[in-house]
Amino acid sequence: MYLINVTIKEAAAEPESAAHLAQHQAWFQRYFDQGNFLLLGPSQTYQRAGVIVAQAADRAELDRILAEDAYYPDLANYAVNEFTALKIAANITDYQAK
């Protein structure tokens, strides 16, 4: 599994880059629907940032998925941390924003 911190660069706020937002949202919805993105949401700590918990067959597959983002590579930074989920709370959906 992977924990991905996505930080949107200042350049994404420029008018000519505004169209990328809808494409970015469609990208994460696609991979959420396909089951690669298990949990995602905006950061409450940092502006223009978000977190994704993802699964992929390997890092190469994850890199291919990240490369499809409209913000990749010039409009966002992607910090990837690979980890093994040893425990998952049964009530995790209790924390989903409504």
Please report, in tens digits, the pLDDT of each residue of the chain (98 residues total). Answer: 999 999 998 876 676 667 788 899 999 999 999 999 999 999 999 988 999 999 999 999 999 999 999 999 989 999 999 999 999 999 999 999 87
| Structure-token match 């425990």, residue found | 87
* CA distances in angstroms from 47 to 52, 64, 76, 86, 89, listed in the order given: 15, 26, 13, 30, 28
pTM value is 0.90
Ordered by where they begin, the domains of the chain are 2-95 (3.30.70.1060)
